[in-house]
Amino acid sequence: MEKILFMNCSPNKEGNTYQIGEELLKGKEHEILYMVDYKISHYGQVTSDDQIKDIFNKIKDFETLVIGAPVYWYTVGGLLKTFIDRLYMLPEAEILRGKKLYLFAQGSGPDSDTEKSITFLANRLSTLMGMELKGVVVDSSDGRKIVNNMSID
Ligand SMILES: Cc1cc2nc3c(=O)[nH]c(=O)nc-3n(C[C@H](O)[C@H](O)[C@H](O)COP(=O)(O)O)c2cc1C
């Protein structure tokens, strides 16, 4: 099984989320999955061009997921949130079980409630999906806090 998959959940493929994730993973073998390259239908509105199963197919080969998202409106951006919504009642989501999860979110200046709610989300997500949460950091877009406080095994 391959080791690290960086799931870039920003619509800006080479924006701040990408830059921070790449700095965090410097020197570590990893692949990048750009969530914006996939069509993820909204929960309850799944269309025939939905590609969530392609995402599961990619994820299944990795032991560790590093999820990076921008902060939009005081929480994680919609690309990640829509993906998380879809995990509900989807049998394929079982492939997440046992994987290690690191989650970071960055914004132009997330407040402490944003930090608390994203940390809570990461904890609940990992518990409910049977993943091992190894780290969660919320930071402003310079990313120092993320790079300095998240050490990836
Ligand atoms: C629609 C939208 C909403 C945003 N809301 C917040 C916010 O609530 N708090 C915050 O700190 N930053 C907010 N931002 C700023 C982004 O999180 C910030 O620019 C981030 O670094 C963008 O990452 P990217 O370059 O990977 O797209 C928002 C940006 C957009 C486009």
> Tens of pLDDT along the chain (153 residues)?
689 999 999 999 999 999 999 999 999 999 999 999 999 999 999 999 999 999 999 999 999 999 999 999 999 999 999 999 999 989 999 999 999 999 999 999 999 999 999 999 999 999 999 999 999 999 999 999 999 999 998
Domain of 67: which CATH number?
A: 3.40.50.360
Q: What is the pTM of this model?
A: 0.97
Residue list, ligand 1 pocket, CB within 6 Å: 10, 12, 15-17, 70-74, 106-110, 141
What's the structural domain count of the chain?
1
- Give the tokens for residue 141: 């877009």
Residue 34: closest CA among 49, 53, 64, 14: 14
How many Å lie between the centroid of ligand 1 and the Cα of residue 77?
Answer: 8
Nearest CA to ligand 1 atom 17: 107
For residue 64, what are the domain limits? 2-149
Nearest CA to ligand 1 atom 2: 72
